[in-house]
Chains A and B, each alone.
Chain A
């Protein structure tokens, strides 16, 4: 087995008796019949994002108040989320925007639904390159029954069929 090293970051691993830095994100991949787009809505816990931007960008990065940091984080997420069609082509995703709502930070992406999509392969590495214990859950909705994909441990690419 080939062993590569990565993540040259020492992050203080916190105890987990409290739900603070949860290192979990949940994403909805929605086939929206009205817009005929595939809409991608990533929900991060603000406190995870708060620590992430300090580790990723600079110590003074502020996800709550600084629009530049917010944009930077949204781009970071967008760069680590990929949809592939059955031919292994990645679908072009447009970064729609981002917002803070309550204790969550949202990042929005979308793409026009390619015709007759048989299935999707999804890659969701956001924060998983920073903290290996990050778990990203995806609910794929609006195309048959809801399907859940969980990016945890060593999982890098998951697939759904329609």
Chain B
């Protein structure tokens, strides 16, 4: 949809074109008569055919394989030039059944080149770019260029960005032919690499580090010009910093899709040895375990690290005072930090003289029985980091371990820098900070506190998904972001349920009913609104699966099974769908189809409820009932008005002329009916008679409820029935009720004689993401809009907000949650 026309955008024609195109084609099998849509159609032709690498259960197949890539890298950080130069030795193990003539290598830094696909396809005022935005001319208003965009442009002009590849050779130093294709490089091997063999590769490279604030990357440097040291200081976050092998997979072969910016990474596991040479006064945080503490840490720091191993609360390795002193001046000396990491899919690090550092050991079940949780932050992180960063890491491990597997790595770190939140194995970059006040103190708001705890949980949670359960981020953002958002919500609620963490089904209704929704199963770079699509909606879907459809026991078992099956392996969406279904024993194809493959939303309407009563067939009872039924009808207006006019009736005027029918009405029972009833009874089989008599005796209430599916997404129908005696009952009808008539269903509900139904509510706890709650009530209720509710609660309680404010003012704390005042009604 072009929005850069120099005139108003007329929405309706565009939308009608869009809706004429099916959201996805189902392929060969089509319903070509009538309008029946099989919402429960099995995903047969939608999911890939199971094979020896990925079986029908969603497990790694009996010939599952994946490549292994080991790296040995020596890198030097040039602080003045803000540049790194490095040489890497790569050992590539070909575990595939295929012979490889060339290797594809990811050169992510090339995204920042001004001739990259990312740069060239960034539209003016365009969609989906991660960097500072611009806006084109529209109507009468001039085009706008934000200062951020200008800053980016100038930075790109002034700095040569992207990799300088200085040398590519084989293990013996013989140059190899290579071709750079955007953010990728094909290296042609001297000899084809046979299955089961390995090859060595050496690459010398360097690049100028981007300024994160200028270009909006996932790493880079941040400059602190106001520090006491002349020229200020920097924090360096290094990620996507070395040429990394693209993944070679059984489902896509080389995953050599250009890095445009949104779809993140697809990587191989391997072992890393990395030596970083940095200014001698820097502190380095890195994926892996430090191998040479004697060379880079003081004996006091080493003692503190040892003390932290089994401390109850985090112990400072570098104290705030020491960090503050350290950042006052620099040095021209260097030190080399040596880290080692086994079985990781990536490697990132951070370096600065500004870092303070704390640590706390976590004990857990094996095989990795001890984990060091550590945080690194500058003075700008302040008390917020001191109190909550490392503790948040520890909490994350506790909760995620329960849902998946024991954290398998020896360290888990949180580093403060210019990146808002980004994840790598054993190390995460998190942005929240304190504010410097005029009196020199540093404070933080409640929102910033929630942000810190939330972002640390989320990013450390990514160590599980996708750093260990190694899904393909470039194709399917939801596989790590959706699963992780679901679990970070669980972890958040176990931290403090009063803080509004996580995702409630009601949070996503505004997105799901909008016309800008795209299916979750959409490649990352094509998604229109990534947040609600890849984070919120899949997280809500999993929440619903857990709390509403499968229940915790089945869900938790299946989810854990998925995590354990694919730990250190590479799952695809079908592996997740199949495992959840296979391990829970519940057919979920309709759920995946509805939530992940379509843009339907949930809106179930209860249109009508009516009552039936069983005939006794006994004429003496049934005829009397019918007579009463006739009597209960309102009197004819004509008859009533005739009476009012005092009109004398013929039968009143001539009472002497009467006959049998004046005494007996049409409901009079004769022996003819009684005989017929007796002979009917005799013809009943004994079991029929027994059932009939019991039903007559119990005289239950029979209610028929009619539902329509306005939103199109089939879901369980959850009913709360309120009875005349004030009691309530829940009834949960599985989604399968919609299988033959997906647009409308009716349901018979039988209740005891004394349970007379007065009202019914669909989804009373708002657990299904039903977008319209007004049609959830029978009889209909007026659901006030948010504004109506807001107005009425304001008038009822007078100066409601002032009272809350006063209470808070007295407390003088920012630990209080602003809650209460939950509104009924529209749940946008």
Contacts and interface: CB of A to CB of B under 8 A. Distances in A.
Interface of A: 1-22, 24, 26, 28, 30, 32, 34-35, 37, 39, 41, 43, 46-47, 50, 54, 59-60, 62-65, 67, 96-97, 99-103, 106, 108, 110, 121, 131-133, 135, 137, 139, 146-150, 152-161
Nearest to B514: A148
B516 A150 contact: yes
Contact of B420 (A15, A132, A147, A157): A15
A67 B125 contact: no
A35 B137 CA distance: 38
Contact of B11 (A62, A152, A159): A159
A157 B6 CA distance: 11
Given A6-B146, A13-B131, 9 more contacts: A4-B142, A6-B144, A7-B147, A15-B422, A18-B458, A21-B420, A21-B451, A64-B818, A67-B802
22 contacts: A2-B143, A3-B144, A4-B142, A10-B148, A10-B213, A16-B530, A17-B423, A18-B458, A19-B531, A20-B421, A20-B431, A24-B529, A24-B531, A32-B787, A34-B782, A65-B808, A131-B133, A139-B514, A153-B123, A153-B127, A153-B135, A158-B9
Contact of A20 (B143, B218, B420, B532): B420
B828 A43 contact: yes
Interface stretch (B441-449, B561-569, B617-625, B758-766): B441-449
A137 B514 contact: yes
Task: Identify the interface centre among A7, A18, A106, A152: most chain B CB within 10 Å of its CB.
Answer: A18
B515 interface: yes
A12 B223 CA distance: 12
CB-based closest 3 A-B pairs = A14-B420, A132-B133, A18-B421
B73 to A, nearest CB: 23
B752 interface: no
Contacts, number: 250
Interface in B409-452: 418-423, 429, 431, 435, 437, 445-448, 450-451
Interface stretch (B43-51, B586-594, B607-615, B819-827): B819-827
B716 interface: no
Interface in B137-183: 137-139, 141-151
A34 B437 contact: no
B127 A154 contact: no
A17 B462 contact: yes
B485 A97 contact: no
A16 B503 CA distance: 17
Interface in B212-249: 213, 216-218
B152 to A, nearest CB: 9
A86 B445 CA distance: 44
Nearest to B461: A18
Contacts of A156: 135, 138-139, 141
Contact of A153 (B126, B451, B516, B530): B126
Contacts of A150: 516
Contacts of B448: 50
Given A19-B535, A65-B446, A65-B808, A147 B138 contact: no
B264 interface: yes
Nearest to A161: B12
Interface in B378-418: 418
B786 interface: yes
Contact of B801 (A10, A67, A108, A149): A67
Nearest to A142: B785
Nearest to A134: B133
Contacts of B185: none
B573 interface: no
Contacts of B450: 47
B808 to A, nearest CB: 6
Contacts of B814: 64-65
Given A13-B216, A101-B822, A152 B146 contact: no
Contact of B137 (A2, A12, A99, A148): A2
A1 B135 contact: no
B247 to A, nearest CB: 19
Contacts of B125: 132, 153-154
B130 A35 contact: no
Task: Identify the interface centre among A15, A103, A137, A154: most chain B CB within 10 Å of its CB.
Answer: A15
B4 A154 contact: yes
Given A32-B788, A132-B133, A11 B148 contact: yes
Interface string B527-544: 001111001100000000
B209 interface: no
Interface in B434-482: 435, 437, 445-448, 450-451, 454-455, 458-459, 462, 481
B419 A96 contact: no
B500 interface: yes
Contact of B786 (A106, A121, A137, A158): A106
B11 A153 contact: no
Contacts of B10: 159
B103 interface: no
B530 A132 contact: no
Contact of B451 (A20, A131, A148, A160): A20
Nearest to A39: B787
B530 A154 contact: no
Contacts of B828: 26, 28, 41, 43, 139
Contact of B515 (A47, A146, A152): A146
B194 interface: no
A13 B213 contact: yes
Nearest to A130: B146
A136 B9 CA distance: 16
Contacts of A1: 136-137, 142-143
A12 B224 CA distance: 13
Contacts of B447: 46-47, 50, 63-64
A158 B135 contact: no
B8 interface: yes
Contacts of B446: 64-65
B765 to A, nearest CB: 16
Given A97-B790, A137-B510, A3 B445 contact: no
Contacts of B791: 96-97
Nearest to A2: B142
A8 B516 CA distance: 31
B148 A99 contact: no
A20 B135 contact: no
Contacts of A20: 420-421, 431, 451, 454-455
B458 A43 contact: no
A95 to B, nearest CB: 11
A26 B125 CA distance: 20
Interface in B48-95: none
Contacts of A47: 447, 450-451
Interface string B493-509: 00000001000000000
A54 B134 CA distance: 22
A134 B12 CA distance: 23
A28 B827 CA distance: 10
B511 A18 contact: no
Nearest to B784: A34
B121 interface: no
